[in-house]
Structure 1
Amino acid sequence: MVHETQPVDLLDRFLGCLLGMAIGDALGMPVAGLTPEEITARYGWHDQFVPLLAPDGSVEVPAGTFTDETELALCLIESAIGSGGYLDVAATGYRFLRLLEGPGAPFLDEPSRRALADAAEHGDFQRGVAGPGMATGSAAARAAPIGLLHALCRFNPELFVRDVLRATVITHAEPEVVNGALAVAYAVLLLVQGMTPPEVLVDEVVRFIDEDAVAQRLRRVASCPLPAGDPAAAATQLAMLGSSAAVDEVVASAFAAFVAAPDDFRQAIAIAVNAGGASDTRGAIAGALAGTHLGARALPSALVEALDGQPYLVMAARGLFQAAQQRAGRFLCLLVR
């Protein structure tokens, strides 16, 4: 079996997406739930890996560790690799269940924890939870690999939306969460293809997704960009845009951080995490966008090398790239006589 030679930058974008997601997630992990003022008081301008400390000052989670945001994305990637580039909901769901017993379990948000606990009983991975307070942004973060999967084939909007929907309702059945996940996946797809400048990315995404709170808040990002050249001021303004775990706030604020510094990975991610609140989810989404746009070679080497699980992320990205090629029909099977 041989495959077509692909431009190097495509694989580099796949690597950049996963590494960027994990870096943003790990940077945001120890400051999640804090206000911008609390982050500044503890760390100053937070752009380095630090551990999550317990109340007694001991290390609860080591520096450079990513959370369930990246773990769930990796579960999705594993199932896609195993099924030749297609989404296997059952395989993905059973991988998700492992997190309930693993070290990432404390990071799971309430909708994910509840939906997975229910799925462990009834075995149906398309019955995500809905209701007040359930429209959180964690499912949007893990949608980035779906954008990668579809980036190499002829774009089919119906199949693309279906895959995002099926991946989302494993845990979240709120329409706004599906729309937020669609925004992230579509942005990643556009950035992989390299034909959409960051300054028009939000407009392109809003044209594609449904009209709801996610789209409305994204329009605010497009109409009121963060101040350029002043990351601290940008983080303060970003917090005012909305720093909660609600999907519309998480997605819009992550996009805003990326477009504020699209050519400076560290600055874009630092803006995202220094805004406080849902820093891990926002950092993961902003990291996926920035990493896809810039490619892995542009990521800060110190952060890449200090990232826990970095070798596995590289392997997952390479496997996903091959699965995306396979899905796109870019492999040629030769007849062996």
Structure 2
Amino acid sequence: MISIRDRARGCLLGLAAGDALGAPAENLTPEAIAARWGVLSEIEGGGTDDTEYTIFVAGLLVRHGHALTSEDIERAWRTEIVDRVDGSMRGAGFSELGTVRALRRGLRPPLTGRWHRHGWSDGLAMRAAPYGIFAAGDPAEAARLAEADGRVSHTGEGILGGRAVAAAVAVAMTGAAPSEVAQAALEAVPEDSWTGRNLRAALAVAAAHGQENGQGFARALHDAVVGAHYPWTDLAPEAVALALAAYVRGGGQVEASVVTAANLGRDADTTAAIAGALAGAGRGEAAVPERWVRRIGPVEGRCLPAVAGRHVRDVADELVEGT
């Protein structure tokens, strides 16, 4: 039997591995990835802001628990992020940069998530896994906590993406089948939302394409959910749909899910991180390939100096102790 601690470790190790594996494929097409790597399956470097912001969120939950509010999160942004930014925020996404600027202008939530006009980004979805760990088995509570976070930095579909990931992780933490995990993501968002429509379309592609050639699956999935003429790749409705489809197609196995997601390109570090978090939560620490685990060390704090030196395994243990 897999313990909650093992699932929590698996979730964050899977997330960190997906982040690192997908990083060099960010903004690429599946065809470009295939031309360069064949199949991208080995970690080449370190993780990105996805892992660092995940650790930041976990710290908030350890300190505040279920009582966590948007005001707590805003205060932490000001003291742990804004006050410690020296020069540019290396590796930060549009929503993070915009939120920092909004806070510096003296704005308060929810205006901080609306002012910068990147509230639809996947910046909340990328860091939502700790809410699912903390509220394991309670997807509604996980989604509620993620939404409280999202009101500081996101709006609309960006918040829905975070809700979907948090709820899905909460169900994956019970060892549920991938189909049940995907259903939890769907139930966390309005049926007629962009996120909901994309999720249903992506899951339909995953069901229809089975185990056929990866390029055929990737192209069908892109046709179904990717905004081909939009210049940026960090759209929450797109990234969450790609990640859930990769996770389902990978049968909930960590390596299959993460590799599938990374090779889809677009915001590949985030989609692979989400897929890894879901699969790791479902299968536990031992299911994360050891060759990947060896490449995951303490984060460097390149984007968030406040989390430098933290290891996701220790963070997972703290989350479980705080539940």
TM range (shorter): 0.7 to 0.9
The structural deviation recorded for 1:201 is 2.7
Which residue, out of 35, 43, 49, partners 1:41? 35
The structural deviation recorded for 1:138 is 1.7
Q: 1:314 maps to which residue?
A: 313
Q: Does residue 206 of structure 2 align to residue 225 of structure 1?
A: yes
Give the aligned length: 299
Q: 1:190 maps to which residue?
A: 171
Q: 2:230 maps to which residue?
A: none
Which residue, out of 181, 186, 197, partners 1:201? 181
Q: Does residue 82 of structure 2 align to residue 92 of structure 1?
A: no
Q: 2:100 maps to which residue?
A: 116
* Partner Cα distance (1:129, 1:33) in 2: 25
**Structure 1 gaps, min length 5:** 1-6, 51-62, 325-337
* 1:1-337 correspondence to structure 2 within 5 Å: 9-50=3-44, 63=45, 65-84=46-65, 86-87=67-68, 88-93=72-77, 94-97=79-82, 100-101=85-86, 105-122=89-106, 124=108, 126=110, 127-129=112-114, 134-151=119-136, 155=138, 157=140, 160-172=142-154, 174-194=155-175, 196-211=176-191, 212-225=193-206, 227-230=209-212, 232-233=214-215, 234-243=217-226, 244-309=233-298, 312-324=311-323
The structural deviation recorded for 1:307 is 1.7
The structural deviation recorded for 1:44 is 1.8
* Partner Cα distance (1:264, 1:17) in 2: 12
* Partner Cα distance (1:99, 1:26) in 2: 24
Q: Which has the larger radius of gyration?
A: 1
**Structure 2 gaps, min length 5:** 227-232, 300-309
- Partner amino acid, structure 2, of 1:322: E
The structural deviation recorded for 1:42 is 1.9
Percent identical across equivalent pairs?
Answer: 27
Q: Give CA-to-partner distance per residue, 1:156-209, whole Å, 9 cap, x none.
A: 94x54442222112211x211111111100000111122x31123323432332
- Partner amino acid, structure 2, of 1:42: R
The structural deviation recorded for 1:230 is 4.0
Q: RMSD of the TM alignment (CA)?
A: 2.5
**Contact kept? 1:231, 1:267, Cα under 8 Å:** no
**Contact kept? 1:85, 1:320, Cα under 8 Å:** no
